[in-house]
Amino acid sequence: MRLVSGRSAANIRYAVYLTRATAGILPVMRRSRKTGIVSGIGKCVLVAIAVVGWVGCIPGRWSVRTEHASRLEARASASQDLSFSVGPSLTYSETITVVESASAPGTFSSERFDSAMPIFVRLTNRTQNIITIDWDHTAFVDERGTSYKVLLPGEQQLPLNVLAVNKPPAPVIAPGSHIEVLVYPAWQGSDRIFFLPREKGAQTTFRVVFATVGGTAPHSELTVAVMNEKLVRYRSRETPWPVKGERCLPTLGCADGFACSRGRCESNKNVVGRDPNEKCGVRSPADEIKRVVEPFGGPCRFDNDCLATLQCVSGRCGTCE
């Protein structure tokens, strides 16, 4: 087994570091044979180096985790039967991981993991009648106007950090009373936070249409505005990120301070990006949102044409500086 997998410059730097560390320990070991004083320490250090060397054989793995904190606001409802309030905030995150194959160096695969809490909603009966909620026919509608089923307990698509989206103890609301529920849309794809804003300062809206029986209308509608107030990104540190002259990572690009240009990492000052007057965070109008989200290097017109960690730079998905 080779000390490092592949021929990437990052792994070569790691091998050089390991060689230097070993060279620094050998004199200690030679002295230990003469004195017998530090032999135990020397052995422990060599064992540690052996363990680190074994770790160097593991394929490269890089990830970027983005954590969001958004504020929720219930907009005026068209319903005369129910009034609504929502939880004041919502947290969610997305993690994109790129892994280099151990058997085929230079070959990469990527995976995505999203995590989000469901939305807290309080429904209050404003009528003098008993109102029943038909949960099986209640719908979640995103900003594009696409309708989804509302997740129920036991659904396989639930976010992994949520055990169940609870139905109320009884789907009946007496006059002047309220119930509290958790709602989240059913989604077949890998992007579980597709309806939420990805950039700081961005805003999206969605609707929850509750099917009702006993009121003056067959349904009651809630509109929720979501405003992204905080965004923090964390880079993994286990594997060195590519720097100047090295190949860019698919989707994730380069180390901090470097940008990808023609497939290679360059210092930001040497990379021609978008016009200085062109701002980051340029999102497309609702009627021009692309159905296919592009990876690094893919064609784009707006930032939300690209994966969440990328922006549209001169017509290609990359890093906006």
CA distance 44 to 294: 49
Helix (H) or strand (E) holding 109: strand 108-116
Encode pLDDT of 200-238 as tens digits: 889 999 999 999 999 899 999 999 999 999 888 888 988
Residues paired with residue 148 on neighbouring β-strands, in sequence order: 140
Per-residue pLDDT at 64: 92
Q: Quick one: tokens of 261?
A: 């240009």
Per-residue pLDDT at 283: 56
At 19, which amino acid appears?
Answer: T
Cα within 13 Å of Cα(261), Cβ side:
16
- 148 class by beta-carbon count within 10 Å (0-12 exposed, 13-18 middle, 19+ buried): middle
**C-alpha pair distances (Å), 314 with each of 185, 276, 280, 304:** 34, 11, 11, 14
pTM above 0.95, yes or no: no
Per-residue pLDDT at 231: 86
CA distance 73 to 84: 10
Per-residue pLDDT at 310: 72
Q: Quick one: tokens of 91?
A: 């947290």
Residues paired with residue 233 on neighbouring β-strands, in sequence order: 66
Residues of the chain with pLDDT under 70: 1-58, 152-170, 188-190, 268-293, 295-297, 308-309, 314, 319-321
Q: What is the dihedral of CA 283, 289, 293, 298, to 10 degrees?
A: -70
Backbone phi, psi, residue 31, to 5°: -65, -35
Per-residue pLDDT at 61: 92
Backbone phi, psi, residue 294, to 5°: -90, 145
Per-residue pLDDT at 320: 56
Contact (Cβ atoms closer than 8 angstroms) between residue 227 and residue 216: no
Q: 10 Å Cβ neighbour count for 307?
A: 22
Q: How far is CA 94 from the centre of its chain?
A: 1
Per-residue pLDDT at 182: 85
Contact (Cβ atoms closer than 8 angstroms) between residue 207 and residue 220: no
Q: What is the dihedral of CA 234, 238, 242, 248, to 10 degrees?
A: -70
Per-residue pLDDT at 188: 67
Q: What is the dihedral of CA 29, 34, 39, 42, to 10 degrees?
A: -10
CA distance 53 to 249: 23
Residue showing tokens 């169940």: 164
CB contact set of 152 (below 8 Å; sequence gap of 6+): 135, 136, 165, 167
Helix (H) or strand (E) holding 13: helix 9-35
Per-residue pLDDT at 159: 52
Per-residue pLDDT at 20: 52
